[in-house]
Amino acid sequence: MNRRRQIYEGKAKILYEGPEPGTLIQYFKDDATAFNAQKKGTINGKGVINNRISEHVFTLLGHIGIPHHFIKRLNMREQLVRQVEIVPIEVVVRNVAAGSLSKRLGIEEGEQLPRTILEYYYKDDALGDPLITDEHIACFGWASQEEMHDISDMAIRINDFMSGMFAGIGIRLVDFKLEFGRVWENDFSRIILADEISPDGCRLWDIATNEKLDKDRFRRDMGGEVEAYQEVARRMGLLPEGVDSAVLDLETHRKKRGK
Ligand code: TMP
């Protein structure tokens, strides 16, 4: 792994140079952070599960015509992706009030929103990813109007698809975060979906019980995060093959804690 040139290390992933120009290898770590890395920890086997979940979701999104960076999964923790010029905007899609929306506007968590909300945050750790509007994006040239049109259009389509997909396995898609990138073809660029889609960047609640099956378990010190991520993967039909080490990690973890 260390033979490859590391391009970037983020909070939950490492990007290495890929085998061909224009490709990268995306490595999924077990590291978990919250509140702009003020809280740090590990979720055993998370990288393995997120790699698999993200592969699955991106593949399905490809089938409905969403252009994306995913090429193929290489192994338990790595996937081959297209290199993109990342758009410095985190796109949050909300269907149900939760998290920072509830805090900011005093709306009770769990309240169904009368319509889906798209929010944009400027990707800058030093500033703590501040909430921004289209005006800031246009003013500072972070993306063109045409690009924002494509981004918001894709975000809504992704939300519709994912809401249905999760509803089919008894999960409510409360909110989630997306990142997009530019790929250049000759002198033209176009926008494709990048990063990952996993319980790290989604709020996923059991439809029947409202049990949280996502990173809020870590953010809010609820415990059971490994089991929650595994439950999502299991319902998606992804557990039987490919995540043996995550299961093993869980076993080791349990033994260590004497359970
Ligand atoms: P928020 O309610 O904290 O703003 O989060 C909204 C959604 O975006 C939630 O599903 C978690 C996800 N998210 C990230 O993936 N990364 C982040 O840095 C933040 C703040 C949120």
Domain that holds residue 137: 85-206
Q: Is 92 in the pocket of ligand 1 (CB under 6 A)?
A: yes
Pair 13, 89 in one domain: no
Please state the atom number of ligand 1 nearest to the C-alpha of residue 203.
10
State how far the Cα of 201 lies from the Cα of 199, in Å rounded to an integer.
Answer: 5
Pair 100, 178 in one domain: yes
Pair 175, 121 in one domain: yes
Pair 202, 92 in one domain: yes
Q: Is 201 in the pocket of ligand 1 (CB under 6 A)?
A: yes
Tell me the Cα Rg of the chain. Answer: 18
- pLDDT tens string for the chain (259 positions)? 557 999 999 999 999 999 999 999 999 999 999 999 999 999 999 999 999 999 999 999 999 999 999 999 999 999 999 999 999 999 999 999 999 999 999 999 999 999 999 999 999 999 999 999 999 999 999 999 999 999 999 999 999 999 999 999 999 999 999 999 999 999 999 999 999 999 999 999 999 999 999 999 999 999 999 999 999 999 999 987 544 544 545 544 554 444 4
Residue nearest to atom 17 of ligand 1 (CA): 201
Q: Is 177 in the pocket of ligand 1 (CB under 6 A)?
A: yes
Q: How many CB atoms lie within 10 A of CB 109?
A: 16
Total domains in the fold of the chain: 2
Pair 47, 73 in one domain: yes
CATH of the domain at 29: 3.30.200.20
**Model pLDDT, residue 247:** 54
Query: E strands, 186-254, where?
Result: 188-194, 202-206
Q: Is 202 in the pocket of ligand 1 (CB under 6 A)?
A: yes
**Model pLDDT, residue 258:** 45
In a domain, 254, yes or no: no
Pair 191, 90 in one domain: yes
Amino acid letter for position 25? I
Write the pLDDT tens digit of every residue in 17-42: 999 999 999 999 999 999 999 999 99
Pair 152, 71 in one domain: no
**Model pLDDT, residue 151:** 99
